[in-house]
Structure 1
Amino acid sequence: MNYKYSGAILSVDELHENLNDPNLRIFDCTFYLHYEPGTGQPYRVESGRADYEAGHIPNAGFLDLQEEFSVVDSPYRFTLLSMEATAKAFANRGVDEKCKVILYSRENMQRATRFWWMLRWIGFDNVAVLDGGMDKWLADSLPVSTRACVYPTGRIEVKPRPTLFCDHHEVLNSIGQAGTCTLNALTPDLHSGADSRYGRAGHVPGSRNVPVASLLDPVTQEFLPSEDAARVFESVGATPDKKIIVYCGGGIAATLDAFVLYQLGYKNITVYDDSMSQWAVDKSLPIATN
């Protein structure tokens, strides 16, 4: 069994061999989430721009999710812009329909998969995630640059796929539905309710826990082989015949689960934007612990 869309996962060796391809648009998507107890916030967001400037993959630009691709006045950290505004933000950074986009991030790949899922949401498919990200690139002693890269403005035609993201109403209405499996991509302590950083402790009732780490090689941080990833999902009842809703803390980690599901050939996948950042503070919404 192989991943269904091989072009959506790129190895560091493949990227290294094609670094000077003028049709590539490479982007560092890194940002960091720092948990600071007692602040009343689930985390503090830190841009990865400083690390990008200190050293990045040659010819890579930088994408800032918080500053450029999220609603500024939302009560939640990473609320989606409109499709049109999202497409414009990508085009301003050089994404163009004639180019292939390569996305990578540091520490884990969920930052890159968030941008990958957003591009598919607006109908842009010529995009890949760098397997293992910057960590794998550095581990293999591949070249690093401090030269900033700014691509010329591109052009994107929006071809909407609105079902790739959902809101809390859709999640609520799916509770108890036999044809739907809801997955939580957060760590087990957050799913169980042992950690309550998002507000009320716990998870969406009936949801199963598939943490991002369960889909990655613990040493290289690359994606697991497809057979192993398939077993992870099937073990919690997430089978290809069902609608799969994925959530996390703010719609970031969930996109890595969603990315792997897509690679396994699942057809009906949606990510809950705002996720527990919204659900855990809205007392009208049910919550469970175990």
Structure 2
Amino acid sequence: MSAVPRHVSVDWLHEHLADPTLRVLDGTVHLTFDEDGAHIESGRATYEHEHVPGAAFVDQVTALSDPDGEAPFAAVDSARFGAVVGELGVGDDHRVVVYDSVNGIWATRLWWQFGLEGSDRVSVLDGGLDAWRAAGFETTTGTETYPPTTFTARRRPERIRSTADVESAVDDPDVLLVNALAREDFERGRIPGSVNVPFPELVGPDGRMRPIEELRDLFGSVGALDPGRRPVTYCGGGIAATAAALALMELGRDDVAVYDGSMNAWTADPGRPLER
């Protein structure tokens, strides 16, 4: 069986949309900020208003985030993940394409959770719903579902890091912490020793991932391609970090892990150091 690419184009999806072994998932979440802090809203209403034909909706906020985790958006355990995606109609032999209708990082978050639970049969739709519309392909409204099935989750612990892991990694010369937040956020405060590859710079003006050579320059310039150091990506809440992890895997770094709690968890204890 040929390897499943981590990205597919809208043309590819349009051509394969009728494939009965394909599952398309809309993972849209709306995250906004104001003087009162961060606000999260499910993307279900956006999905019902407009989505790729045949796509089902997965509510990552309520269904795939652990309310008892060390920070908001913490990944659920394997049993919960398997139950949720199985109910959505994703089985062990299905090919999956994930997308969102905002900035792409919620699609990469969903891709990462599938990978965390052992599935490499998942691709991100390059450019998301915006690219689909820009290509002139039709969208639809309402709610669509697939028949429930069974998904076997097999956790890959090497792909996720806890706060305790990162505390140990701060002084570990074999680990490189890669902050995926915007440059101004990185300057305001980061985990000591971190380097910065902002997630907005991973994509072009059209929302599609930049060419591999441009990504190689971005990550190579901060030492993230050094084979002697294991990259651990993080951000504010473990979402944008998954876009950086995907880009690093596209560059051949199969050893990349995500700090799931990210800055939300790190700053929960004011005694933990910050570098500015």
TM-score range normalised by the length of the shorter chain: over 0.9
Deviation at 1:83, TM superposition (A): 1.3
Deviation at 1:72, TM superposition (A): 2.6
The equivalent residue for 2:219 is 233
Q: Structure 1 stretch 252-261 or stretch 86-95: which is displaced more?
A: 86-95
The equivalent residue for 1:49 is 44
The equivalent residue for 2:260 is 273
Residues 155 and 6 of structure 1, relative CA distance in 2, 3 Å threshold: closer
The equivalent residue for 2:166 is 171
Distance 2:187 2:6 in 1: 33
Aligned-residue identity in percent:
35
Deviation at 1:147, TM superposition (A): 3.8
Corresponding residue pairs, total: 273
- Aligned 8 A contact 2:98 2:123 in 1: yes
Residues 232 and 128 of structure 1, relative CA distance in 2, 3 Å threshold: same
Amino acid at match of 1:278: A
Aligned-residue RMSD, C-alpha: 1.3
Q: Structure 1 stretch 202-211 or stretch 149-158: which is displaced more?
A: 149-158
The equivalent residue for 1:25 is 23
Amino acid at match of 2:207: Q
Deviation at 1:73, TM superposition (A): 4.3
The equivalent residue for 2:209 is 223
Distance 2:72 2:46 in 1: 21
- Report Cα offsets for 1:132-171 as digits up to 9, x if no partner: 1111111112110114211111212222211111101111
Aligned runs of 1:177-188 on 2, under 5 Å?
Answer: 177-188=172-183
| Structure 2 counterpart SS, 1:111 | helix
Aligned counterpart for 2:93 among listed residues 92, 98, 108: 98
TM-score by length of 1: 0.91
TM-score by length of 2: 0.95
The equivalent residue for 2:191 is 204
Deviation at 1:6, TM superposition (A): 6.2
Deviation at 1:211, TM superposition (A): 0.7
- Report Cα offsets for 1:21-46 as digits up to 9, x if no partner: 11111011111111121x3x4x1001
Give the 4+ runs in structure 1 shifted more than 4 A: none
Aligned counterpart for 1:123 among listed residues 118, 126, 146: 118
The equivalent residue for 1:150 is 145
The equivalent residue for 2:53 is 58
- Aligned 8 A contact 1:240 1:265 in 2: no
